[in-house]
Structure 1
Amino acid sequence: MSWQLLPTGEMTLHLRINPQHPWQPYFDFPDLMVENEDERMSQGWATYRSLLKTGQWQLIPSGPGAGN
């Protein structure tokens, strides 16, 4: 998982199934998205928290010098 900018300038959760695949916005993976039960939280943040809790996903730094 990585937080990256969309062309619109919005910071959005991106996912990739394995390191050889390109990063894609989380909404390209509807089977991994979770319903947002807290209106103060974005659906991307809710999905991030849910995936992180599984222990099968990790956050990869993004941006200049991050090497991704």
Structure 2
Amino acid sequence: MAEIPTGGQMTWKIEGAIDCALHLRHHPSEPWRPYEEFPEYFLPDPRHFSKGYATFLALLKKGWKAV
């Protein structure tokens, strides 16, 4: 995760989604995409945690914003 750009956005539930999982985008003008579509950022989650929790924490430390 050394070369992750800063300033991205993260959300847990997008409009129309049934499940709660991490979604990402680099810029507000981009559509939300599931975190699994970013293999360069993906980190495995501990058992029984929300999908994307480990990735969320790592990106938060890199300056990404939760919206």
Q: Normalising by the residue count of structure 1, what TM-score does the alignment of the two structures yield?
A: 0.69
Q: Give aligned-pair identity as a percent.
A: 36
Question: Structure 1 residue 39: deviation in Å?
Answer: 2.1
Aligned to 2:60, what secondary structure does the other structure show?
Answer: helix
Letter in 1 for 2:44: E
Contact 1:4-1:12 within 8 A present in 2 as well: yes
- Report which of the two structures shows the higher radius of gyration computed on alpha carbons: 1
Structure with bigger helix share is 1
| Unpaired stretches in structure 2, ≥5 consecutive residues | 1-9
1:26 partner amino acid: Y
> Which residue number corresponds to residue 54 of structure 2?
46
Higher relative contact order (CA 8 A, sep 6+): 2
- How much is the aligned-residue C-alpha RMSD, in angstroms? 2.0
Give the TM-score, by structure 2 length: 0.70
Pair 1:8–1:32, CA change in 2 (3 A): same
Question: Structure 1: any 5+ residue segments left out of the alignment?
Answer: 61-68
Q: 2:66 aligns with which of 50, 59, 67?
A: 59
The size of the alignment, in residue pairs, is 58
